[in-house]
Amino acid sequence: GTEIHLPSLPINCDEDFIGVVRGYIDHESAHIRFSDFELMKNASITTFERFIWNVLEDRRIEQLMGKTYGGSKHNLQWLAHHIFVDRHQSAWNNDCTSVVSNWLLLTVSSWD
C-alpha cells in the first residue's frame, strides 16, 4: 500500500505503450493515495466480495485521482477505452468468469 513496483520498461516504445504505462501508474498511485488497505485487510469477506469491492474501489479512487490531477483523468479514461474498446475481442479469455468480470469492469468504467 505504499509502493508501486514497475517492471523494466523499454526506452523506445509506441504511443499505446506509453498510454498504458501512464494509466496504470495513475491507477496504482490512486490506490496508494486514496485506498484504506487496513480496512480490506481486516474485512471478513469472500474472494468474490473482495473482487466486487475492488471494482467499485477502482472507480472511486480513479474519480478522486481525476479530480485531484486533471492529467490523470485523461490517462485513466484513455486506459479504459484502450482496454475495453481498442483491444481485439480475440484478446479476451472467453471463459464464463472472465466474461462476467470484464462486463462488470466495463460497466463500472462506463458510469463516467
What is the rounded average pLDDT for all residues in the chain? Answer: 86
pLDDT score recorded for residue 88: 53
Burial 6-21 (b: 16+ CB within 10 A, else e): eeeeeeeeeeeeebbe
pTM above 0.85, yes or no: no
Over residues 101-109, the mean pLDDT reads: 82
Find out whether 84 and 106 touch, Cβ atoms under 8 Å.
yes
56 φ, ψ (degrees, to nearest 5): -70, -40
pLDDT tens sequence across 51-81: 899 999 999 999 999 999 999 999 999 998 8
Selection from 63, 37, 40 nearest residue 50 by Cα: 40
Residue pLDDT, tens place only, 3-12: 787 778 888 9
Q: What is the CA radius of gyration of the chain?
A: 15
Question: What type of residue sits at position 74?
Answer: H
Q: What mean pLDDT do residues 15-26 have? A: 94
Flag whether pLDDT at 34 surpasses 90. yes
Contacts of 26 by beta carbon, 8 Å cutoff, 6+ apart: 62, 65, 69, 72, 75, 76, 79
Q: Given a cut of 80, is residue 25 above it in pLDDT?
A: yes
